Amino acid sequence: MKGIILHGGHGTRLRPLTHTGPKQLLPIANKPMSQFCLETIEKTGITEIAIIIGGVGSNKVREYYGDGKKFGVKITYIEQDEPRGIAHAIRLCKDFIGNEKFLVFLGDNIIQRNISDVVKIFKNSNYDATILLCEVDNPSRFGIADVENDKITKITEKPKNPKSNLAVTGIYLLTPKIFGIIDNLKPSWRNEFEITEALDNLLKENNNISFEIITNYWKDTGTPEDIIHANGEIIKLKIKLFHPELDFGGIQDNAIWGEGSKVESNVVIQGPVLIGKNCHISSSSIGPNVSVGDNTIISGASIENSIIMENCKINSSTKIKNSIIANNSEIKEEEGIKKTFLLGEGSKISL
């Protein structure tokens, strides 16, 4: 089997964070979100992966992942000239896939389970597709699968009156049969080729689609709130599974810190908190649910439920909450007023 990661799109709901690069490279727990997808695929034994790129910062994707060797995989890059839908992006991979079955991951999907068992079952089955589903509270935001008697009966994109709360996650196991289905699609109202329509057409053709329900954590990180929530959940998992011989220097008070980082005695940490390498934090309150990127300096701040990326400087009494501060940003403030920030790369604020 082969793998596909969709890494394109404009990420308009995440601007200004996505003005300088793709949203899938935004860090969750100090790691690009698409790397979680790649690692999940690699754990299934799939080592040949195509990454679909396009839009702002495609070169950054190539620079970060390279040929895939350092991640234990072989990466092929396929260009999508403009966002024309998930089905269109998958269709671009026809030559790469050949006659093999394959696993598709949207690069902004985060899950906390190993899917090797699902891949193994699909690989040895005669199913035309297996779809991963997850119960959601707001089904009108997602593609939704109607299920009766353990069978999918219909798949609808963002239904106004959903009959089910089972969302179609951005994780699909497919065969080359899907390419012929996609070739017969017409653009939707938003001028995209919808994967939900392709799957529904495949379902109508022979009703040979299986599904697996994700019962633990899944998040489609399409908004800043989604990213911040996923960040907190992944930090909790990292702390639970912490191994000191791996990436970090130590663990204490429900927090992990990187090598070369210094946290002064006048810092209050309320975990879960993840601090990168070579950071210096003093006279501050950090947490809960905070990640701090490498080489960041924080003094006199109160930070909660936020993502601070690499090479930032925060020297302020500002109370930062529910915020994302991009790489190389700087905040200076004298008044202790609570604020929420969404700062793009290289931002500087003096208040």
Specify the pLDDT at position 5: 95
Specify the pLDDT at position 2: 97
pTM assigned to the model: 0.86
Specify the pLDDT at position 163: 87
Average of pLDDT values for 117-141? 92
Band (177; pLDDT cuts 50, 70, 90): very high
In this predicted structure, the answer to whether residue 304 has a pLDDT above a threshold of 90 is: yes
List helix spans (H) across the chain.
33-43, 58-65, 86-91, 94-97, 116-123, 177-183, 195-206, 224-240
Total residues found in the chain within this entry: 351
Name which CATH class applies to 226-350. mainly beta
Name which CATH class applies to 2-222. alpha beta
Four-CA torsion 33, 36, 41, 47, nearest 10 degrees: 90
Which pair of tokens denotes residue 184? Answer: 């017969």
Average of pLDDT values for 39-47? 95
In this predicted structure, the answer to whether residue 181 has a pLDDT above a threshold of 80 is: yes
d(CA 224, CA 206): 39
Higher pLDDT, 265 or 49: 49
Q: In whole angstroms, what separates CA 282 from the centre of its chain?
A: 31
DSSP 279: -
Which sequence spans correspond to the domains of the chain?
A: 2-222, 226-350
Among 56-60, 181-185, 334-338, the least confident range: 334-338
Specify the pLDDT at position 248: 47
In this predicted structure, the answer to whether residue 247 has a pLDDT above a threshold of 60 is: no
Higher pLDDT, 252 or 153: 153
Q: In whole angstroms, what separates CA 308 from the centre of its chain?
A: 17
Specify the pLDDT at position 336: 52
Phi-psi region of 158 (alpha: psi -120 to 50; beta: other; left: phi over 0): left
